[in-house]
Structure 1
Amino acid sequence: MNYAQILKSSFDPYFQAPLEIWEGFFRMCKVVSVKKGIIIKEYDATENYFYFIVEGAVGVFLWKENTPVCLDFAFDGQFCSDYMSILTGEPTPLYLMTLEDCLFLRMSKEKYNELTQMPIGKIIRLVAGEVSFVDKQRQQIELLTKTASQRYHLLLKQFPDIQNRVAQQHIASYLGITPQSLSRIKREN
C-alpha cells in the first residue's frame, strides 16, 4: 500500500503538494491497527497523537449527564485527533473511540509540531485547520437551522454508507436526537 499516495489523494482537493512532501509526512508516522470499540484518546487527558485514517471510522465524544454525546465522525482518508488538546497542550473532556477496526497513520504530537515548523507543514496545517473550521461551522449552522430529518439526509449525503458503519445510537447522538426519533425518521423516508 502506498501510504504517501493515499495521503496526497486525500489532501489534493484542498491543497496539491508534490508526492515527496507526503512521503516525508509518512516517514514521521507509524502504521497502527486498532480494533473497534477502543478509546484512542481518553476523556480528560492530553492528546498525544495526530491520526490519519487509512481505513475505518472514529467518533469524537463528550460526556454529558453520564451519557456519551457524539460530536463528530472521521472516516477513511480523513485526519482526526483531539486537535484542541494538540494546540493547547492541555487535557480536554473529549475522547476518541474507534467505531470500526481501524488502520491509522499515527504521528506523535512532537513529530506533528516538528512537521508544522517546516514551510510546507505550515501550509498543510493552515489548510487543514481552515477545512476543519468550515466543517464545524457548517455543522453548527445545520444543528440550529435544520430539522433532524434534514440533518440526517445531509449526513447521508456526506457519508452515504454511514448506516452500515456506525451504530444508530452514535448517529442519533450526533444529530442531537434519540435513537427512537432516528428510527422514526428512517421509517418516514
Structure 2
Amino acid sequence: MQNLSTQLKKAFDAYFEAPIEAWEEFAAHCEPMIHRKDEVLKKQGNSEKYFYFIEKGSVGVFLWKENNFVCLDFAFDGQFCCDYMSVLTEEPNDLELVALETTKVHRMTVENFRKLGDKSIGQILMRKSAESSFVDKQKQQIDLLTKSSEERYRELCQRFPKVELRVAQKHIASYLGITPQSLSRLRRKHA
C-alpha cells in the first residue's frame, strides 16, 4: 500500500507535479476517517470544515430541490472533494456531502488547508485545484446542454468504471438529469 503522500502526489500529478515534500507536509495535516454509507460529511446550511482526499469509496455532492436532493457531482478513490464553494467564500450554503458507500478519507481542516496555501507551493496547488474544479464544472454544464442522456451516461461509465455497482441508481439518474426509469432503459440498452 502506498503511503498517503505518494497517493496524494499521484492523484494531483495530472494537474501539477509538485515535489513529494509538498505532499508530505499536506499528509502530515490529515486525519484518517471512515464514513458509513449515507453518512453526511457536510450538512446543508453549514460551512465546510474539511478538505477530503478519498482513499477508497465515494462521496456525492447534493443540493435540496423541490422536496428531494439532486446529485451535482461524485468523487471516487484517489480524488479530492469538499464543498469548495464554501471553502472559498467562507460561508455556509445548501450543498451537502454524503458518503455513497463505506468510504475511507483523509481529512484536513480548512484552517490547515488555508495555512498551507500561504506557502508558495501551497498557492500553486490551491490555484491548480480551483482551476481544475472550474474546468470540470464548466464541462459538466456544457455536456448537460449539448449531449444526449445516452452520451452522458456512456461518458460517466467511462470516467467512473462500475459506477452502477457503487452508487444508487437514483443518484446516477439525478446526476445525469434524467429519471430513474430513463436510466433503467439506458442500462438495458448498454448491457
RMSD, aligned CA: 0.8
Flag structure 2 segments of 5+ consecutive residues without an equivalent.
none
**Alpha-carbon shift at residue 33 of structure 1 (Å):** 1.2
Aligned-residue offset at 1:186: 1.3
Normalised by the length of structure 1, the TM-score is 0.98
Are 1:153 and 2:161 an aligned pair?
A: no
Match of 1:116 in 2: 117
Partner of 1:185: 186
Task: Give 1:66's aligned residue.
Answer: 67
Q: How far apart, in 2, do the equivalents of 1:4 and 1:92 lie?
A: 31
Q: How far did 1:35 drift?
A: 1.1
- In structure 2, what residue type is equivalent to 1:28? H
| Counterpart in the other structure of 2:5 | 4
Residue aligning to 1:30: 31
Identical counterparts, % of pairs: 54
- SS for the counterpart of 2:129 is helix
Trace 1:1-189 onto structure 2 (pairs within 5 A): 1=1, 2-189=3-190
SS in structure 2 at match of 1:17: coil
Cα distance in 2, alignment partners of residues 38 and 18 from structure 1: 34
Residue 188 of structure 1: CA displacement?
A: 2.1
Supply the AA of the counterpart residue of 2:155: L
Quick one: distance in 2 between partners of 1:39 and 1:126? Answer: 27
Which residue identity lines up with residue 118 of structure 1 in the other structure?
A: K
| 3-state SS of 1:105 partner | strand
Q: CA deviation at 1:138?
A: 0.5
Tell me, in whole angstroms, the C-alpha distance in 2 between the residues paired with 1:109 and 1:5: 21
Give the whole-Å Cα distance in 2 for the aligned partners of 1:147 and 1:17: 38
Amino acid paired to 1:181: S
Distance 1:187 1:91 in 2: 40
Amino acid paired to 1:19 = I
1:79 CA displacement: 0.7
User: Alignment partner of 1:36: what SS?
Assistant: coil
Give 1:161 deviation, angstroms: 1.4
Deviations 1:5-30 (A, max 9, x none): 00011111111111111110000111
SS in structure 2 opposite 1:5?
Answer: helix
Question: What secondary structure sits across from 1:77 in the alignment?
Answer: coil
Following the alignment from structure 2 to structure 1, what is the Cα–Cα distance between the partners of residues 46 and 11? 29
Given residue 12 of structure 1, which amino acid in structure 2 is its aligned partner? D
Q: Deviations over 1:29-71 (max 9, x none)?
A: 1111111110000011111111011111000000101111000
Q: CA deviation at 1:177?
A: 0.6
In structure 1, how many angstroms separate the alpha carbons of the residues matched to 2:144 and 2:9?
32
